[in-house]
Amino acid sequence: MNKKKRRPNTATIFGLIIIGFFVVVALLAEYIAPYDPSALGTAYLPPSAEHLLGTNDLGQDIFSELVFGTRVSLVIGIFSALAVTLIGTVLALTSGYYGGWWDRLVAAITDITMAIPSLPLTMLLIAYLQSGMFSLIIAMSVTAWTGTTRILRSRVKQICEQPYIKIEKTLGVRTPVILFKHILPNLKDILLTRMALSVSGAMMTESGLSFLGLGTFGQKSWGNILHFAFFRNSILRKQVWWYLPPIICISISVLGFMLVGYYGQQRAK
Amino acid sequence: MNAREELLRTEKLSVCFQGGNYVQAVEDVSLSVYKGDKLCIIGETGSGKSIFLLSILQLLGKSAKVTGDALYRGQSLFSASPKELDKIRGGKISYVPQGSGNGMNPLLRNGFQVGEPLMAHCGFSKSEANTRSIELLRKFHLGREEAIAKQYPFTLSGGMRQRVLIAMGVSAEAEIVFADEPTKGLDEKRIKLVIEAFRELKKQTLVCVTHDLSFARSIASRVSVMYAANQVEMADADELFSKPLHPYTRDMIAAMPENGLQFNTGFAPAHGDEKVVGCKYRERCLEHDSRCLKVPPMVNVQNRQVRCWKYV
């Protein structure tokens, strides 16, 4: 058996290293963070050996906040990407395979949802839902599934026209088997790509919402740190150690997921 | 003939395509398939043979308009529910597709794909199906069957893929096997293997579309000849090859290599060509007369059917 080894390119390896780093940080947050991020202390301390990135207006250690923030940001990003991908896959598989009125309905709903400005709608939903990670994930998924659905649906339609799918139908293979065993593996490339991009999109949205003060209260996330940094005038006070680290973290982690995503997209072509 | 059990019957089956150009692909084909039959449908490219098979299984796209009826053991396939159809397709009527290029899912192992109908219809477990599919592959002499079963379709050559597809089609031991050009892309020796394999299907009924006349001669018990969407002749194989009635059948048999490759000039009229009136073979027929300007009826001559004015 000659197994062809697929060698991912440098960009993907970089992306994976970045993602891996943040995942490790999120998993081991308790061991990495020197302080409890919600413990109070002396406010507005500049960086020192004791507090690597100083303290905020409540005297909380910013480095610890950052470390624990990784967890929240990643969890929200990954879970809303999962939700988005799940919704998108189910809709795309069923509409692409069955066609007919269901397909037209899905296409219409996708188009309509795409036309709705997503950020205001998300904000509206958050205002009505109870605050917390779960409602944030729901609110963000409500508008984010459209792109994935559209791309997957066209791919499913394309695959359904392939002779082997028709042959499976002729041989009387049951529909779930065709859908999940024959069509789904063919979507693997796009699925992984879209998921990586969805994670980065969701992390961006989460940061934005948290920055606006609509994010997760009580739980530290990067956007949350930025929110307080901004509203406590850290920029005017030239407290670079407060507002810059979260920005860097957001940028790098989003970059990591995007690198993985775009590389996948190249292969999907 | 009537004493035999009738499995499949088509009644005035017509197919036309309406996407863009109007194309009449199959016109008023009525035929019966009896238990144990080895029926070959022969005719030149574009005569509607494959479309005829696909229309019975309802595998045509939405642009195809199918009229008439196809009955499996008296049950209309066109009014069957999707569930009933799923049971009949593959379980009762299986299909060996034409062309090997995209006939297999590139992401699934060969063995799994061959065994799939077994899992769907005969209640085989995955490992049982796998064992059985290796046996089937062995029947078609693929060589290194265990390894092939574990490999993916891209490792196979066109001819191998064709044989794997045949194995897939016959695996569930359906009552009727539809085969669409099963010998395409195979060399003489492999064609012999296919002939042997088809001859072994004694219990099963075979409906085979082919334009390989020698192949048809060696497996068929009955032959139906199609020309430009029409069925022009239907007879027992021996009679048809020894004493063809329809001028087209005669010309076609004369064009077989062993008969000296005597080709008749011209080609079949284009589908939906409105200029063609009457018998579609008139332009090329050496024996045509004034009656041929009208569409000839299907007539029964000595237990065979032929669509020609000569026998009216």
Residues in chain B closer than 8 A to A3 (CB atoms):
none
More confident residue, B159 or A73: A73
Tell me what pLDDT residue B198 has.
84
Please compute the mean of the pLDDT values over residues B217-230 and round it to a whole number.
89
More confident residue, A37 or B213: B213
Q: Is the pLDDT of residue A83 over 70?
A: yes
Q: Which residues contact B195 (CB under 8 A, 6 or more apart)?
A: B215, B218, B219
Q: Which amino acid is at B218?
A: S
Which of A104, A160, A171 has the highest number of chain B CBs within 10 A, making it the mutation to test binding with B? A171
- How far away is chain B from the Cα of A162, in angstroms, using its nearest Cα? 7
Q: Is B302 on the interface with A (CB under 8 A)?
A: no
B89 with A181: Cβ contact below 8 A? no
Tell me what pLDDT residue A267 has.
58
Q: Is B90 on the interface with A (CB under 8 A)?
A: yes
- How far is it, in rounded angstroms, from Cα A210 to Cα A60? 18
Q: What is the mean pLDDT of chain B?
A: 85
pLDDT digits (tens, 9 = 90+) for A221-237: 898 888 888 888 888 87
Contact B148, B122 (CB under 8 A): no
Q: Is the pLDDT of residue A198 over 70?
A: yes
Please compute the mean of the pLDDT values over residues A52-56 and round it to a whole number.
82
Q: Which residues contact A131 (CB under 8 A, 6 or more apart)?
A: A216, A217
B86 with A167: Cβ contact below 8 A? no
- How far is it, in rounded angstroms, from Cα B308 to Cα A117? 69
Using CB atoms, pick whichever of B87, B103, B147 lies closest to residue A163.
B103
Tell me what pLDDT residue A58 has.
81
Residue A165's pLDDT band (cuts 50, 70, 90):
confident
A172 with B147: Cβ contact below 8 A? no
To which H or E segment does residue B76 belong? Answer: strand B75-76
Q: Which of A78-92, B23-37, B211-225 has the highest mean pLDDT?
A: A78-92
To which H or E segment does residue B49 belong? Answer: helix B49-56
- Burial of residue B310 (CB within 10 Å: 0-12, 13-18, 19+) is middle
Q: Which residues contact B199 (CB under 8 A, 6 or more apart)?
A: B219
Residue B1's pLDDT band (cuts 50, 70, 90):
very low
Residues in chain B closer than 8 A to A186 (CB atoms):
105, 107
Q: Is the pLDDT of residue A85 over 90?
A: yes
- How far is it, in rounded angstroms, from Cα B150 to Cα B142? 13
The residue count of chain A comes to: 269
- How far away is chain A from the Cα of B102, in angstroms, using its nearest Cα? 6
Task: Choose which CATH entry (3.30.9.10, 1.10.3720.10, 3.40.640.10, 3.40.50.10470) describes domain A33-42+51-268.
Answer: 1.10.3720.10
Share of chain B above pLDDT 70, in %: 96
Domains of chain B with bracketed CATH: 6-92+174-311 (3.40.50.300)
Contact B177, B204 (CB under 8 A): yes
Among A48-57, A97-106, A155-164, B243-252, the minimum mean pLDDT is found in: A48-57
More confident residue, A10 or A138: A138
Share of chain B above pLDDT 90, in %: 6
Instruction: Using CA coordinates, name the residue in chain B closest to A182.
Output: B105
- How far is it, in rounded angstroms, from Cα B97 to Cα B53? 10
Q: Is the pLDDT of residue B2 over 60?
A: no
Q: Decide the pairing of beta strands B38-42 and B205-210.
A: parallel
- How far is it, in rounded angstroms, from Cα B250 to Cα B45? 17
Contact B162, B186 (CB under 8 A): yes
Residues in chain B closer than 8 A to A164 (CB atoms):
102-105
Among A18-27, A85-94, A258-267, B119-128, the minimum mean pLDDT is found in: A258-267
Hey, what's the torsion of the CAs at A189, A190, A192, A197, to 10 degrees?
140
Report the candidate in B8, B26, B9, B10 with the shortest Cα–Cα distance to residue B65: B26
Residue ranges in B221-286 assigned as alpha helix (H): 237-242, 247-254
Q: Is B244 on the interface with A (CB under 8 A)?
A: no
Please compute the mean of the pLDDT values over residues B201-217 and round it to a whole number.
87
Q: What is the CA radius of gyration of chain A?
A: 22
pLDDT digits (tens, 9 = 90+) for B34-90: 988 899 999 888 888 888 988 998 888 778 889 989 999 888 888 888 888 888 888
Q: What is the CA radius of gyration of chain B?
A: 20
Residue A106's pLDDT band (cuts 50, 70, 90):
very high
Hey, what's the torsion of the CAs at B121, B127, B129, B131, to 10 degrees?
-160
Residues in chain B closer than 8 A to A167 (CB atoms):
95, 97, 103-104, 165, 168
Which residues does residue B299 pair with via DSSP β-bridges, in sequence order? Answer: B306
